[in-house]
Amino acid sequence: MTINDDGDLAGMLPGGLSKGALRGIVVLDITRVVAGPFCSMLLADLGATVIKIENPRDPDYARDFPPKLRAGSGEEFSGFFAQYNRNKFGLTIDLSTEDGADLLRKLVRRADVLVENFRPGTMDKLGVGYDVLRRENPRLVYTAISGYGQTGPYRRRPAYDNSAQATGGLWSMNGFPDRPPSRVGTIIGDLSATFYAVIGTLAALRESEKTGQGQLVDVSQQDSVLSLTENAVVSYTVDGKVPGPLGNEHPFVKPYELYPCKDGFVFFGGYTDKFWRLSCHLFGQPELADDPEIDTMAKRFDPEVYERRVRPLLHTWFEDKTKTELEEIVGDAVPLSAIKNIAEVVEDPQIAARDMVVDVEYPEFGELRMFGSPIKLGGTPAEPRGLAPKVGEHADTVLRALTDLDEESIALLREKGVI
């Protein structure tokens, strides 16, 4: 089995890709859990050939995360793992052995990108850090995702998503003023690092293609979270203010928050003068558009005016109507959105129109519905329907395509426990 003319293995995957914008780009994915796997998954959706490399004795422990798909035989496969590792080849390498480190060096010679999310220094200890691997392949883009980055006093600290939310400032700002701060309800530290890692990887790839020189892409979860804190940094550095939890309110834009309605809650953001005037007409009180106390945005931003006049008014507009009724009243005129749970989101017609919930058929396990790709390209669309590999599933295919190893050599590596 050999790599095709585009340098693309992905067409060999069950349900795999061969026409994406990143076709021909080979990515070695030495990551686990979310931040790294999600990064390489996005690249795979866009057509890159991604090879997930796991320790044969200690594979990605996200394989044990719920929910589980179950086969008739009793075998289980993690839906969580499947979602973040779709469209990838599976290979195992024990990098703690010299044979394993040597095998990775061989693979790097044919790769364009390597993604890892170990603590800084781990890959160096294994003899396969960036300085070593760039000698094997000067054009290699080496993307390292970590809790605190490759430099600085915290660089060797272990970290999880919550660590980044805590030290990046976001946790202190989230929640309600009269309660302890709350973490954001999703793994935003992991996810934000993912997005910056993809951006950095693509930028470095472009430079590598122009100059033949790769580089280190160093992405920190803490840095990524800090960049999501909106105006918090400048509020402190300019005005000396330390932002705290605001609940569902915005620090100065009003009305711009959650409001109760008959069957739940809606977000209403009709704060500009244009949207406010439209809202007054849509909800049957056009005279309020010219009320001298609330007729301008600056007046409505005043906390006292907002609490005394605007908030009670919105309650009267919304409280006796359902989410659907309110969305029908405003239509496309004013920003009002039903606050939906995941069950409602999965069945949402806009989500369906955008192909953001996709069905993937797993042999033995049946159908898995997962989120699709948010990256919509007109000419080379992302394809999120490929399968996630079983542990080491494609070892022979990958090693024959990307190294000069023959069947006997591969069998010897397997016998020694290297793969």
| Nearest CA among 23, 30, 21, 22 for reference residue 4 | 23
What does the alpha-carbon distance between residue 298 and residue 292 come to, in Å, rounded to a whole number? Answer: 12
**Phi, psi at 100, each rounded to 5°:** -65, -45
Q: Parallel, antiparallel, or unpaired: how do β-strands 113-116 and 88-92 relate?
A: unpaired
What does the alpha-carbon distance between residue 195 and residue 84 come to, in Å, rounded to a whole number? Answer: 14
Look up residue 58 and give its DSSP letter.
Answer: B
229, 167 contact by CB (below 8 A): no
What does the alpha-carbon distance between residue 391 and residue 2 come to, in Å, rounded to a whole number? Answer: 22
| Nearest CA among 37, 215, 11 for reference residue 113 | 215
Using CB atoms within 10 Å of the CB of residue 123, give its burial: 0 to 12 exposed, 13 to 18 middle, 19+ buried: buried
Phi-psi region of 43 (alpha: psi -120 to 50; beta: other; left: phi over 0): alpha
What does the alpha-carbon distance between residue 247 and residue 311 come to, in Å, rounded to a whole number? Answer: 15
What does the alpha-carbon distance between residue 415 and residue 32 come to, in Å, rounded to a whole number? Answer: 25
Kindly give, in sequence order, each residue whose CB lies less than 8 Å from that of residue 217, ignoring residues fewer than 6 positions away. Answer: 141, 142, 143, 144, 197, 200, 201, 204
The amino acid at 224:
S
Q: Exposure string (b/e) for 160-169, b if CB count within 10 Å is 16 or more?
A: ebebbbbbbb
User: Which residue out of 29, 161, 190, 223 is catalytically annotated?
Assistant: 190
Kindly give, in sequence order, each residue whose CB lies less than 8 Å from that of residue 299, ignoring residues fewer than 6 positions away. Answer: 293, 305
Is 190 catalytic? The answer is yes
Radius of gyration of the chain (CA): 26
What does the alpha-carbon distance between residue 296 and residue 291 come to, in Å, rounded to a whole number? Answer: 9
Catalytically active residues are 190
